[in-house]
């Protein structure tokens, strides 16, 4: 019955007659509705301005938690395999020293040129020229190109290349060209041998 009376009072209210300066004298149902609307507006404002920020912070912290868990798992895995990593590191350093020992130093280059010449002569080649070219620096090493011109037969060239590949120092062969000579009946080979030395920190 009271609810029906309230509805009837609301229907009889003329909104144009309501004076916002005298809210206290408004009909009771209107004041209740106004209060409910204000409470809803306050709650919505609280949600959008405060709770929404808290939700964003919560999402950020959840994401950070996931990242921290992943980092923890990675570090736990590394810690569990620390001895194995140290052993691998020692093996890599040992292998690096072996490789670095195969790089000739500046003082060993003349001896290397003599070795290449002797291999050529032992392969029955006529070494017509062997010249050092300008160095080429890379990130970790310095490349020492050597231009070689020799005359001989196919099998002699094969023996020479095999002998150079068997040197204790690292020597690679590149950019070869074989042509026939007009007078001697032999073949001429132009080839670039490249050896390497370890690059010092101040270079």
176: domain CATH number is 3.30.70.60
For residue 74, being part of any structural domain is answered with: yes
* Mean pLDDT within 188-200: 84
Q: Quick one: 110 and 182 in the same domain?
A: yes
Q: Quick one: 115 and 67 in the same domain?
A: no
Q: Name which of 97, 95, 110, 102 is nearest 165 in CA terms.
A: 102
For residue 203, being part of any structural domain is answered with: no
Q: Quick one: 24 and 75 in the same domain?
A: yes
Q: Report the number of distinct structural domains present in the chain.
A: 2
* Mean pLDDT within 98-121: 76
Which domain does 1 fall in, by range? 1-80
Q: Which residue reads 């017509």 in tokens?
A: 128
- Say if residues 121 and 133 touch (Cβ distance below 8 Å): no
Q: Quick one: 66 and 108 in the same domain?
A: no
Q: Quick one: 73 and 5 in the same domain?
A: yes
Rounded Cα distance between 83 and 117, Å, is: 48
**Quick one: pLDDT at residue 50?**
74
Q: Quick one: 76 and 109 in the same domain?
A: no
pLDDT tens, residue by residue, 11-64: 555 555 556 666 666 666 667 777 788 888 888 877 777 777 777 888 888 898
Q: Quick one: 111 and 37 in the same domain?
A: no
Rounded Cα distance between 142 and 200, Å, is: 9
2 band by pLDDT with thresholds 50, 70 and 90: low
For residue 152, being part of any structural domain is answered with: yes
Q: Where are the alpha helices (DSSP H) in the chain?
A: 2-11, 28-46, 52-80, 82-101, 109-122, 154-165
**In the structure encoding, which two tokens stand for residue 111, read together?**
């001896």
Q: Name which of 155, 156, 101 is nearest 127 in CA terms.
A: 156
Report, in angstroms and rounded to the nearest whole number, the Rg of the chain calculated over CA atoms: 45
For residue 167, being part of any structural domain is answered with: yes
For residue 99, being part of any structural domain is answered with: no
For residue 85, being part of any structural domain is answered with: no
1 band by pLDDT with thresholds 50, 70 and 90: very low
Q: In whole numbers, what is the pLDDT of the chain averaged over residues?
A: 79
Question: C-alpha distances in angstroms, 192 versus 8, 75, 110, 132, 184?
Answer: 108, 48, 16, 10, 23
């Amino acid at each position: 019955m009271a609810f029906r009376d309230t509805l009837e009072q609301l229907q009889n209210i003329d909104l144009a007659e309501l004076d916002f300066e005298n809210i206290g004298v408004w009909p009771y149902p209107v004041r209740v509705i106004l209060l409910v609307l204000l409470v809803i507006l306050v709650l919505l404002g609280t949600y959008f301005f405060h709770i929404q920020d808290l939700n964003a912070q919560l999402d950020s912290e959840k994401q950070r938690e996931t990242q921290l868990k992943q980092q923890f798992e990675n570090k736990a895995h590394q810690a569990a395999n620390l001895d194995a990593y140290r052993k691998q590191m020692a093996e890599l350093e040992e292998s690096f020293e072996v490789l670095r020992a195969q790089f000739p130093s500046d003082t060993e280059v003349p001896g290397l040129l003599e070795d290449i010449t002797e291999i050529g002569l032992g392969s029955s080649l006529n070494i017509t020229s062997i010249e050092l070219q300008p160095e080429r620096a890379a990130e970790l090493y310095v490349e020492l190109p050597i231009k070689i011109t020799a005359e001989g037969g196919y099998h002699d060239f094969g023996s020479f290349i095999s002998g150079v590949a068997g040197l204790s120092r690292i020597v690679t062969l590149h950019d070869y060209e074989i042509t026939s000579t007009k007078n001697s009946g032999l073949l001429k080979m132009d080839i670039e041998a490249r050896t390497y030395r370890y690059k010092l920190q101040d270079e």
